[in-house]
Amino acid sequence: MNLKLIVGLGNPGEKYSETRHNVGFMAIKQLAEEFNILNVDKDCEALVADGKIEDTKVILAQPLTYMNKSGRAVSKLIDKYDISLKDLIVIYDDLDLPAGKIRIKGSGGSGGHKGIKSIIEYMDSNEITRIRIGIGRPLEIDVTEYVLHEFNEDQIKRINQALKKVDDIILELIKDDLDSAMNKFN
């Protein structure tokens, strides 16, 4: 049976739960609720839940290693469940996209994102399917301060719409392929 590892990036702890940098965690929570995958456990330095989307077995994961060490948890999950890189999907925040805008891609650099940079380093590959969710770029405040704060009211509406769209993107990636998802949703 085909197995997909879907990882949302963020930082663990209540303090970070609703911050911009945790949009990947939010996407995993949304997927878990939408597809009734609610059997959460701790494994490989991550919160994980397994279930099915369509006829495909999936593991949903939120690394507990903090953003810049995400690769360590992802590497452990890949090894434990013997998952190929083509079956890894990573969801994370992107400063260079407006809040709620989504971009899907199958390879490339980190774009300065420390979580994806860590995964690329641990996997020794940049051939990783990514779903980037825009959080917008700050104009007046430091980037680090910005990503660790909550969304404003307008942004949260757009983010919630984007999170629902991620459900559809994951379905497309499972039923069809990366090119189809990029053509349909980019």
Q: Is 149 annotated as catalytic?
A: no
Whether the Cβ atoms of residue 37 and residue 48 lie closer than 8 Å to each other? no
Contact 35, 51 (CB under 8 A): yes
The CA distance from 43 to 29, in Å, is: 17
In whole angstroms, what is the distance from residue 53 CA to residue 29 CA? 14
Exposed, middle or buried: residue 13 (CB in 10 Å: 0-12, 13-18, 19+)? Answer: exposed
Catalytic entry in 4, 20, 21, 132: 21
**Count of beta carbons in the 10 Å neighbourhood of residue 151:** 20
- Return the active site residues: 21
